[in-house]
Structure 1
Amino acid sequence: MSQHTVVGIGGSPNAGGRSSTALAAFLDATGLTTTVIELGDGPDPEEVQRAIEAADGVVIATPTYRARSSGLVKALLENTQRGATGERRAPLRGKATAILHTGNAAEHFLAVDDLRSVLAGFFAAQVLSPGLFLHGGHFGPDGDLGDEARALVAAHGRAFGEFTAAVRASPAITALAPLL
């Protein structure tokens, strides 16, 4: 599986926090070649788009604000073309994607559904379900993942490694277009 590549998008304005910690553990478990782009570090938007286009899979890790993804993730998606009329690019179309949300309260887990809907319906990305939401109780006082959370993240990472390979191997799946 190591011939596939995955780009991890860290959507926190504070790189190195809980979302980054969880993303690193997730990517480590995929068994694939990975790259991380922290949006909070202000990367060149064109370089981010090229990295998404070149990757076989994309993992979006974001803190949850008001039961939604971070503004940095929203801005990234607002500036990502989807192959609609007049657009030259569709970097997420048919791409294996995964969602990793972090938040303080467990009841904000529904933010995963909001992002999944946008990725799957609007961009025609293939999203690993059910998504992953980690709340404050999943992290220790030092910001590291607890043992149970680390096992959960690793299970999702391994599944994403296999999912990415399966999606890339299917021309019929990768050819699917957005709903409209």
Structure 2
Amino acid sequence: MTSVLGLVGGPAPGGRTCAAVSGVLAGATNAGAMTSLVELSETSSEQVTAAIEAADAVVFGSPVYRATYSALLKQVLETTERGMWGETSAPLRGKAAAVVLTGASGHHFLAQNDLRNVLAGFFAVQVLSPGLYLDQAGFLDRTTLAPDSAALAAAHGAALTALAAAVRGSKALSALTPQV
């Protein structure tokens, strides 16, 4: 069974980003995956690394601040080893991932490209494309996705589950490593 981890990089638990990531996880659950959610604001880096290691796929969720993803998510990525230059682990290697960002307006949707590039280029993760960006119009309130957004998030979850199974089932895809 495929396991999908949702990482929420918001500064406080709950909120729009958590709702969006939860929507993706709901779609993964409906596609037969086991899912779990971790709020980075409440978790140690050791716990995050262990959770990533145990998952087949990871949903990286963050609010957009100053046209990029949150410092909490950056810290996770900066402290996650890649198995290069004497590092002893590579928890993201051979994984599939989805990018879920939230923002106040549609003006920052391109921030998902930065996160996608870090995951694909630096960690050699197979990233679901397109990413999911939801602004305020995608929510009924702070914790509830609008129906169209919920359907879109669920579709991303199902697609991520399929991508994770494809990566896990392919020796070629799961063996890719970072170039540098």
TM value normalised by structure 2: 0.95
Does residue 4 (structure 1) correspond to residue 5 (structure 2)? The answer is no
CA distance in 2 between partners of 1:33 and 1:139 (Å): 25
| Deviation digits for residues 15-39 of structure 1 (CA, Å, limit 9, x no counterpart) | 1100001111110111310111100
CA RMSD of aligned residues (A): 1.0
TM value normalised by structure 1: 0.95
Higher mean alpha-carbon deviation, 96-105 vs 134-143, is at 134-143
Label 1:53 to 1:142 Cα distance change in 2 as closer, same or farther (>3 A): closer
**What is the deviation of 1:143?**
3.6
| Match in the other structure for 2:39 | 38
**What is the deviation of 1:179?**
2.1
| Match in the other structure for 2:108 | 108
- Contact 2:14–2:143 (CA<8 Å) still a contact in 1? no
Report the AA paired with residue 4 of structure 2.
V
Report the AA paired with residue 123 of structure 1.
F
Does residue 22 (structure 1) correspond to residue 34 (structure 2)? The answer is no
Q: How many residues align?
A: 177
Identity %: 49
* Map 1:27-66 → 2, pairs under 5 A: 27-31=25-29, 32-41=33-42, 43-66=43-66
Shift >4 Å, 4+ stretches: none
Does residue 120 (structure 1) correspond to residue 120 (structure 2)? The answer is yes
**What is the deviation of 1:116?**
0.3
* Map 1:134-153 → 2, pairs under 5 A: 134-153=134-153
Structure 1 segments unaligned to the other structure (5+ residues): none
